[in-house]
Amino acid sequence: AYETPALDTIATGEFAGPILGGTVTNLLASLGTPYAFDPPNGYILFFEEVGERPYRLDRMLLQLRQSGLLSRAGAIVIGELPKCDEPGGLITARATMARALSDFPGPVVFGFPSGHTTGPQFTIPFGVRARVVGDARAPRVIIEEPAVQ
């Protein structure tokens, strides 16, 4: 098992399940195709993006919600979302995520360094069991099983 560096908690709680996801524009573009993102109930959604303005991120979360994909998730791990704040920084991607996910029943953590990042990154082995700990003092994502045996 390995743990990530410091994250920011948007919603507290703890949840374990398979972690799946990716760049959200690609996940949403797959819907309605034979290759549609179709996670099981009780999964952890990894949500990341680059260069999308907050209003677009809000729309993407709305589409995930309306498609039923968000209700299948027990936890959400959000990437760093580089270049996703409004120019001037008055509206941030993090604040948009917190508002749009304010009613999400499980833990939500922000700033996971995977996918599009601003520095060193972690590789997420999709499909393995992970644990999200949305703790106010020490939020973390723990990969609980190896990707290969």
Q: Token pair for residue 16? A: 């374990």
The model's pTM is: 0.94
pLDDT tens string 65-82: 999 999 999 999 999 999
pLDDT tens string 28-39: 999 999 999 999
pLDDT tens string 93-141: 999 999 999 999 999 999 999 888 888 788 899 999 999 999 888 888 9
pLDDT of 3 reads: 58
72-to-37, 56, 98, 127 alpha-carbon distances in Å: 12, 22, 19, 15
Burial of 66 (C-beta count, 10 Å sphere; 0-12/13-18/19+): exposed
Q: Token pair for residue 58? A: 């809000």
pLDDT of 28 reads: 97
Type of residue found at 8? D
- Output phi, psi for 64, to 5 deg: -60, -40
| H-run or E-run covering 46 | strand 43-48
